[in-house]
Chains A and B, each alone.
Chain A
Amino acid sequence: MPERAMLIGVILLIIGLIIGVGIGYGVWGTVPAKTVTTTTTVTAAAETVTTTVTTTLPATTVTTTTTTTVTTTVPAVTPKKAVISVLAAGDPASVTRKDNVIKACKRLSLLFKILDIPITIEVDEEKSEYFRGKWPEYEKKIWAAYEAKELWDIIAVGHEWIPTLAEKGIIIPLDDYVKKYWDFAFSDIPETLWEAVKYKGHIWAIPQDTEARPVYIWIPALKALGWTEEEIKALPEKVKKGEFTLDDMLELAKKAVDMGVVKYGILHRPSPGAELWQIILAYGGRLWDPEKGKMVLVKSATLKALQWFRKAVDMGVLPSDMTTWSWRAIHTAVVSGQTMFWFGGTWHWAEWQKVPYHPELGAVPEEYLWEHFIFTLVPPGVKGGKPVTISHPFVYVITSQADDPDLAALVLAMVTQPEFDVAHAVGSAHIPVKKSSLEHPGMKQAKFLSAVAYMLDYTSFEPMHPLWGKYKDILFKAIQAVELKKMTPEEALKFIEDSIKADPELVKAVEIVE
Chain B
Amino acid sequence: MRLGGSKTRLFLMTSIFLGPCILIIALFWISPVFSTVFLSFTDMSLRRPEWHFVGLRNYEYIGKHPFITKVAINTAIYVSATLAWNVLVGLFLSLLSFYVDDRSSLLFRALWLLPRASPPVVYGLLWLWVLDSSEYGLLNQLIMPITKKPIPWLVDYAMPAIIIINGFIGASFSLIVFSSALKAIPPDYIMAARVDGASELRIIKDIILPLMKWPILFVTAWQTLSLLASYEYILIVTDGGPFYDTEVWSLFAYHQAFKHLELGFGAALAMVLVIVALIIVLIQMKVFKFRRMITPVKIEHT
Contacts and interface: CB of A to CB of B under 8 A. Distances in A.
Contact of B241 (A329, A480, A504): A480
Contact of B46 (A143, A169, A323, A502): A143
B278 interface: no
A484 B155 contact: yes
Nearest to A499: B66
A502 B61 CA distance: 6
Nearest to A505: B43
Contacts of A466: 47-48
B243 interface: yes
Given A466-B48, A502-B64, A502-B66, A324 B154 contact: yes
Contacts of B261: 139-140, 143
A6 interface: yes
Contacts of B132: 326
Interface in B133-176: 133-134, 152, 154-155
A201 interface: no
A324 B244 CA distance: 13
Contact of A504 (B61, B66, B155, B242): B61
Interface stretch (A123-131, A365-373, A469-477): A469-477
Contacts of B188: none
Contact of A502 (B65, B241, B242, B258): B65
Interface SS of B by simple majority: loop
B183 interface: no
B254 to A, nearest CB: 12
B241 A469 contact: no
B286 interface: no
21 contacts: A2-B103, A6-B106, A136-B259, A140-B46, A140-B258, A140-B261, A164-B47, A168-B49, A324-B154, A324-B241, A325-B133, A326-B132, A466-B48, A473-B259, A480-B243, A484-B155, A499-B66, A502-B65, A502-B66, A504-B43, A504-B54
B17 to A, nearest CB: 29
Interface residues of A, number: 34
A180 interface: no
B57 interface: yes
A499 B244 CA distance: 14
B260 interface: yes
Contacts of B196: none
A26 to B, nearest CB: 25
Interface in B243-282: 243-244, 258-261
A59 B101 CA distance: 67
A481 interface: yes
B47 A495 contact: no
A136 B46 CA distance: 12
Interface string A154-178: 0000000000100111000000000
A288 B93 CA distance: 59
Contacts of B260: 469-470, 473
B300 interface: no
B243 A481 contact: yes
Nearest to A323: B242
A495 B66 contact: yes
A324 B152 contact: yes
B259 A324 contact: no
Nearest to B64: A502
A295 B244 CA distance: 25
Contact of A477 (B43, B47, B49, B243): B243
Contacts of A480: 241-243
A139 B106 CA distance: 47
Contacts of A467: 47
- Closest 10 pairs between A and B when the two form their complex, measured CB to CB: A502-B64, A321-B155, A498-B66, A321-B152, A143-B46, A481-B243, A2-B102, A164-B47, A480-B243, A168-B49
A477 B71 CA distance: 15
Interface in A135-151: 136, 139-140, 143
A324 B155 contact: yes
Nearest to A146: B46
Interface string B59-87: 00100111000000000000000000000
Nearest to B54: A504
Contacts of B65: 499, 502
A477 B240 CA distance: 11
A326 B260 CA distance: 22
Contacts of B133: 321, 324-325
Nearest to B63: A502
A6 B154 CA distance: 40
A321 to B, nearest CB: 4
Nearest to B66: A498
A324 B61 contact: no
A503 interface: yes
A132 interface: no
Given A167-B49, A168-B48, 8 more contacts: A2-B106, A6-B106, A139-B261, A140-B258, A321-B242, A484-B155, A502-B66, A504-B54
B49 A324 contact: no
Nearest to A136: B259
A486 interface: yes
A382 to B, nearest CB: 29
A254 to B, nearest CB: 19
B182 to A, nearest CB: 16
A136 B262 CA distance: 13
Contact of A503 (B48, B61, B134): B61
A164 B57 CA distance: 23
Nearest to A144: B46
Nearest to A476: B243
A365 B133 CA distance: 29
Contacts of A329: 134
Interface string A319-334: 0110111100100000
A266 B2 CA distance: 89
Contact of A484 (B49, B64, B243): B243
Interface string A64-105: 000000000000000000000000000000000000000000
A359 to B, nearest CB: 10
A323 B240 CA distance: 13
Q: Which of A140, A324, A329, A505 has the most CB of B within 10 A?
A: A324
A136 B66 CA distance: 23
A136 B259 CA distance: 6
Interface in A378-422: none
A104 B160 CA distance: 54
